[in-house]
C-alpha cells in the first residue's frame, strides 16, 4: 500500500497524490550524473503497494538482482513516522546499508529538511543519495551488464517499450494511471455519494474500454508483454480481493464480468509465457498469511486457513471511514485452466 492520505482526494473528487520531489534519472551513458553501475543502487519497495509492485516486476523481468540491491519495508506504518523495517511481512529487520528502523530516515538522509510523503518505490544511489524515475531506468539502463538474452533490445518486438509503440504505450499508461489506478482510490476515498457515483461511472467506463481493447489480443499491444501490461497488472491483481471489498468498487468484478481482462490477468500471474517467468506470480504476495497488523484477531478453529492479505490494512486505512479490515476473497486469483 503506497503512502496515500485522504488529503490526496480533492473536494471535487479528483485524486491527486503530490508529485515526487526526487526525479533524477539513471542513464547508461558513462558521463551521466547518475550512471548505471553494478552494486551502486538499491530498490526499496513495499509488497502491498501497486506502484512499488510495478518496479519489482520489471526488476525481475530484466534479471537485475545481481546488479541492484533490494530491500522491502514492513506493512506496519506508524501514523507519525511512516513505514518501518522490523522483520515482519517479508521486510528487512533493519535497513541493510544504514541500520535505519524507519523508511523516512532514508528520505531525511537525502534531504534533511524534506517535508512530504515517504513513499515507495525508491531507487537509491548509495553514492549520491538520490532516487528518481524508476520503471524505465530498470528497463534499459543496466542492459550493458546483462547476459545478451536479457537485454531489452534483444527481446521479442523490442522489449517492454518498443520504439514503434512508445507513443501509444505512453498514452495508454497516462490514461490508465488517471482512470484506473487512481480511479479505484477515487471510489474508495469518496466522502459523499455524488463523488462516489462519478468515480464509479468513470472507473467502469474505463474497465469496459480495457476489456474491449483486449478483444483478439493476448496482451495490451499484441503477443508480448509491454510496460503497459506491467503498469495495469499491479492494479488488476488487487481488484477483486482489495478494491472490490475495501474501496467499494463492486458493481462488477474482474473474474466474473470481464472475461478478456480475467484471461489476460491470469496469463500474467501464472506466467504462462517464458518471458514472464519469475516476475508476476513471484512478486505478488497476497498468498502470505500475516496476522501481525491484526494480532488481536482470533482465527476460528473451523477455518483451515485465514488469509489476511498483507496489504489489506493499508487500503482500509486509506478508505474514507473504513474501520474494519475485510478478509478479502478466499481464492485471491483463479487458476489457469485455458
Mean pLDDT is lowest, of 63-72, 114-123, 148-157, 301-310, for 301-310
For the segment 172-229, what is each residue's pLDDT rounded down to a tens digit? 999 999 999 999 999 988 989 999 999 999 999 999 999 999 999 999 999 999 999 9
The answer to whether residues 253 and 35 touch, using CB atoms and an 8 Å cutoff, is no
| Residue predicted with more confidence, 311 or 124 | 124
- Quote the CA–CA distance of 177 and 231 in Å, as a whole number: 8
How many other C-beta atoms lie within 10 A of the C-beta of residue 105? 16
- Quote the CA–CA distance of 251 and 244 in Å, as a whole number: 8
Residues 6+ apart with CB under 8 A from 74: 83, 84, 85, 86, 87, 88, 89, 91
Q: Residue 277 pLDDT more than 50?
A: yes
Catalytic residue among 4, 8, 43, 49: 49
Kindly report whether the peptide bond that precedes residue 121 is cis, defined as omega within 30 degrees of 0. Answer: yes
pLDDT, mean of residues 138-154: 89
- pLDDT at position 319 is 59
- Picking from 172, 281, 270, 276, the residue whose alpha carbon sits closest to that of residue 223 is 276
Residue 49 is among the residues annotated as catalytic for this protein: yes
- pLDDT at position 91 is 86
3-class secondary structure per residue, 65-112: CCCCEEEEECCCEECCCEEECCCCCCCCCCCCCCCCCECHHHHHHHCC
Residues 6+ apart with CB under 8 A from 296: none
Q: Residue 123 pLDDT more than 80?
A: yes
The answer to whether residues 36 and 44 touch, using CB atoms and an 8 Å cutoff, is no
Amino acid at each position: 500500500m503506497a503512502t496515500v492520505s485522504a488529503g490526496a482526494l480533492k473536494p471535487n473528487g479528483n485524486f491527486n497524490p503530490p508529485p515526487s520531489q526526487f526525479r533524477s534519472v539513471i542513464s547508461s551513458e558513462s558521463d551521466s550524473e547518475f550512471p548505471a553501475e553494478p552494486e551502486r543502487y538499491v530498490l526499496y519497495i513495499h509488497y502491498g503497494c501497486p506502484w512499488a509492485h510495478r518496479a519489482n516486476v520489471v526488476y525481475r523481468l530484466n534479471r537485475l538482482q545481481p546488479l541492484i540491491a533490494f530491500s522491502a519495508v514492513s506493512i506496519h506504518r506508524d501514523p507519525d513516522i511512516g513505514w518501518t523495517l522490523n522483520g515482519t511481512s517479508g521486510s528487512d529487520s533493519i535497513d541493510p546499508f544504514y541500520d535505519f528502523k524507519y523508511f523516512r530516515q532514508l528520505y531525511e538522509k537525502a534531504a534533511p529538511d524534506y517535508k512530504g510523503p515517504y513513499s515507495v518505490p525508491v531507487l537509491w544511489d548509495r553514492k549520491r543519495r538520490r532516487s528518481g524515475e524508476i520503471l524505465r531506468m530498470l528497463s534499459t539502463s543496466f542492459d550493458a551488464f546483462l547476459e545478451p538474452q536479457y537485454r531489452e533490445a534483444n527481446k521479442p518486438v523490442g522489449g517492454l517499450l518498443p520504439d514503434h509503440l512508445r507513443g501509444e504505450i505512453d498514452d495508454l499508461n497516462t490514461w490508465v494511471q488517471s482512470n484506473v489506478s487512481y480511479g479505484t482510490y477515487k471510489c474508495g476515498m469518496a466522502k459523499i455519494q455524488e463523488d462516489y457515483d462519478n468515480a464509479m461511472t468513470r472507473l467502469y467506463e474505463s474497465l469496459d474500454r480495457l476489456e474491449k481493447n483486449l478483444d483478439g489480443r493476448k496482451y495490451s499491444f499484441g503477443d508480448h508483454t509491454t510496460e503497459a501490461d506491467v503498469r495495469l497488472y499491479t492494479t488488476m491483481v488487487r481488484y477483486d480481493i482489495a478494491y472490490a471489498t475495501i474501496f467499494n468498487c463492486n458493481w462488477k468484478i474482474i473474474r466474473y464480468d470481464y472475461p478478456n481482462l480475467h484471461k489476460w490477468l491470469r496469463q500474467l500471474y501464472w506466467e504462462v509465457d517464458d518471458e514472464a517467468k519469475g516476475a508476476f506470480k513471484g512478486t505478488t504476495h497476497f498468498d502470505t498469511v500475516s496476522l501481525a497488523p491484526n494480532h488481536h484477531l482470533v482465527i476460528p478453529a473451523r477455518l483451515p486457513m485465514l488469509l489476511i492479505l498483507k496489504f489489506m490494512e493499508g487500503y482500509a486505512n486509506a478508505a474514507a471511514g473504513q474501520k474494519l479490515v475485510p478478509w478479502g476473497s478466499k481464492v485471491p486469483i483463479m487458476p489457469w485452466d485455458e
